[in-house]
């Protein structure tokens, strides 16, 4: 059913929570995993010059050691967890608008499933902040598994559930 699973990651706790779910699916279906880190050129463009942003968009981080280190750390986390489970994994870094890059990567790499975390925001914070996950859902025709990490560490009773 799934041969290629994409795990977009920014190295955050939210994306790390999604890794376990993604690897469970990949392991169950003997799928290959792609770990993808996207440098958001809109946000780094505020603090960098146009020439530096162009180099990042072309995948040439050059002296951008901090960005390259963040990308490496984020995808290495996924790769390490995947290897622990015996799952084949590839690490990738791209630059651009995260949701668009993720959707394009999924198409180009013929991904069957994208697995992403979500903070589980609701109400005004969701409207104002939006999320990369929400934008990916709008931009891709691929299947997307959204892992709600907004209540990580709480049990169902704390969230008003019945514990089931």
Instruction: Tell me the pLDDT tens digit for each residue of 36-63.
Output: 999 887 665 444 555 555 555 555 555 4
Residue 17: domain span: 4-148
pLDDT at 123 over 60: no
Is residue 158 in some structural domain?
Answer: no
Condensed to tens digits (0 to 9), the pLDDT of residues 53-111 reads 555 555 555 544 576 788 889 999 999 999 999 999 999 999 889 999 999 999 999 99
φ and ψ of 86, to 5 deg: 75, 25
pLDDT of residue 150: 64
In a domain, 45, yes or no: yes
- Mean pLDDT, the chain, integer: 79
Residue 119 domain-assigned (yes or no): yes
Q: For residue 9, tell me if it sits in a domain.
A: yes
Examine residue 156 and state whether it is found in any structural domain, yes or no.
no
How many structural domains comprise the chain? 1
Query: Inter-axis angle of helices 65-84 and 13-29, to 10 degrees?
Result: 40
Which CATH number belongs to the domain containing residue 37 in this structure? Answer: 3.40.50.620
* Beta carbons of 34 and 111 less than 8 angstroms apart: yes
d(CA 133, CA 112) in angstroms, rounded, equals: 16
In which region does residue 128 sit, left (phi positive, over 0), alpha (psi from -120 to 50) or beta (all else)?
alpha
Instruction: Give the pLDDT of residue 143.
Output: 97
Residue 16 placed within a domain: yes
């Amino acid at each position: 059913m799934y041969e290629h699973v994409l795990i977009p990651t920014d190295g955050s706790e939210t994306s790390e929570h999604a890794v376990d779910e993604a690897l469970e699916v990949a392991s169950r279906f003997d799928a290959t995993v792609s770990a993808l880190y996207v440098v958001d050129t809109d946000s780094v463009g505020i603090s960098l010059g146009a020439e530096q942003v162009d180099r990042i968009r072309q995948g040439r981080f050059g002296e951008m050691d901090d960005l390259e280190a963040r990308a490496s750390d984020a995808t290495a986390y996924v790769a390490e967890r995947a290897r622990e489970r015996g799952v084949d994994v590839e690490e990738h870094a791209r630059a651009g608008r995260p949701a668009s890059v993720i959707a394009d990567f999924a198409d180009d790499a013929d991904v069957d499933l994208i697995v992403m975390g979500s903070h589980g925001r609701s109400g005004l914070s969701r409207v104002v902040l939006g999320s990369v996950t929400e934008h990916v859902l709008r931009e891709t025709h691929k299947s997307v598994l959204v892992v709600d990490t907004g209540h990580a560490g709480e049990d169902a009773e704390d969230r008003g559930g019945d514990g089931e």
